Structure 1
Amino acid sequence: MIRSSLLPLLLVSIATSAPIVAAEMRIGVIDANRVVEQSPQYEAAGAALQQEVAERERALRAQQDEITKLQQRLERDGPLMSEDELQRLQNDIRSRQRRLKYAQVEFQEDFSLRQNELRTKLVKQVQEAVVELANEEQIDLILSEGVVYFSDRIDLSDQVIERLRERFRSR
């Protein structure tokens, strides 16, 4: 426990040493959203995700088209069908609608999961590039989220984006 008589001396000591520490410290800032959105990894991840989901989207649309055709048949031919035929067609439509709804929910969950996996991977790559830049440029502190203002002089976003481009090209 610090004695109350030593507290003012300690505070003066900290206050007078703080400017010295601050004068030696190098600080940088990155705009994380801009870095992510302008990185080639982001574009590649988006294209890969789109390619992954395209086939499933086509399959879901095909299922929906089949249901629509069956509903049109029900409206058109329903009055002419026997009670058993009508019941089978209605049951088939309901069954297909349930399967489609389940498939859509599953697709959305898979899409979200894959999107999060790709984002996590990209965030890790950005973080590695930032740490590498900080070490090379001897920067002590790099801020990102929650910064209200920063000057272009300490904005490292372009340098991080360029490192990400270099890494992407070297893959």
Structure 2
Amino acid sequence: MKKSIIVPVILIVAAMFTCSAFAADATKIGVVSFEKIVKESSAGKVMQKDLKAKLDELQAKLQAEEKRVKDMSVALEREALVLSAEKKLERQRELRDKADDLKKMNADYTQEMKILQNKRMNQIQKDVFDIANTLGKAKGYVLIIEKKVAGVIYVADKLDITDEVIKEYNSIYAKK
């Protein structure tokens, strides 16, 4: 007799938990492509333009120095026969020093560009995180993830909120 009462009670309890699970709100998840934001947002375009200008400036300086080293090398070859052994060794040392300086300058400029790019990217990333956080709270998202970092292979278009974030970022950036 007890067994016949226990089975319906278990079924009723299980049905109550099942109904509450189906009655829960739909979970809102958003996906953001940081790469797309950098390419298409106003801040990203300004960053790319500034980095290209800085790169062009540094490359011009590097090319000018390369020309000086090449000119020194040509002059040394031209004057090698008329220079004394001591003067020739001195000029060769100067040329090696200039070539080493050129390599160091190239490495320094590369490092400077990396630092500048990282600084700008970190600022944009911070801004995007703030915007995504605000947007997530306002629109009731449970989770917003970055597409590339999270290793997302496929995402439905309706979950991608990148364009919304870009629009918000552009409006905030325009006010600055």
> Which TM-score band (shorter chain)?
0.7 to 0.9
C-alpha displacement at 1:26, in angstroms?
1.8
Q: Tell me which moved more, 66-75 or 81-90.
A: 81-90
Report the residue type matching 1:35 in the other structure: I
The equivalences for 1:150-161 within 5 A come to: 150-161=155-166
1:62 maps to which residue?
A: 64
Q: C-alpha distance in 1, partners of 2:126/2:132?
A: 10
Aligned partner of residue 149 in structure 1, secondary structure: coil
With structure 1 as the length reference, what TM-score do the two structures score? Answer: 0.81
Please give the TM-score of this superposition, normalised by the length of structure 2: 0.79
Q: Which amino acid aligns with 2:158?
A: R
What is the match of residue 167 of structure 2?
Answer: 162
Residue of structure 1 in register with 2:40 after alignment: 38
Give identity over the alignment, percent. Answer: 22
Does the 8 Å contact 2:30/2:159 carry over to 1? yes
Supply the distance in 1 between the matched residues of 2:80 and 2:106 (Cα, whole angstroms): 28
Query: In the alignment, which residue of structure 1 is the partner of 2:4?
Result: none
Q: CA deviation at 1:70?
A: 0.9
Find the aligned partners of 1:81 and 1:124 in 2 and give their Cα distance: 61
Partners in 2 of 1:33 and 1:55 — Cα distance?
Answer: 25
The answer to which of 25-34 and 51-60 deviates more is 51-60
Runs (5+) with no aligned partner, structure 2? 1-13
User: Who wins on radius of gyration, i.e. which is larger?
Assistant: 2
How far residue 49 of structure 1 moved from its aligned partner, in angstroms, is 2.2
- 1:147 maps to what in 2? 152
SS in 2 for 1:79: coil
CA contact (8 A) 1:60 1:103 kept: yes
Aligned to 2:101: 99
Q: Please state whether the residue corresponding to 2:81 is helix, strand or coil.
A: helix
Distance in 1 (CA, whole Å) between partners of 2:117 and 2:21 is 44
**CA distance in 1 between partners of 2:70 and 2:43 (Å):** 40
Structure-1 separation of matches of 2:46 and 2:34 = 18
1:78–1:129 CA distance, 2 compared to 1 (3 A): same
Partner of 1:78: 80
- Equivalent pairs, count: 158
Offset at residue 44 of structure 1 (A) = 0.8
Do the aligned partners of 2:32 and 2:145 also contact (CA within 8 Å) in 1? yes
SS at match of 1:29: strand
* Residue aligning to 1:26: 28
Contact 1:29-1:154 within 8 A present in 2 as well? yes
Root-mean-square deviation (CA, aligned residues, Å) is: 2.2
Q: Is the 8 A contact 2:69 2:98 kept in 1?
A: yes
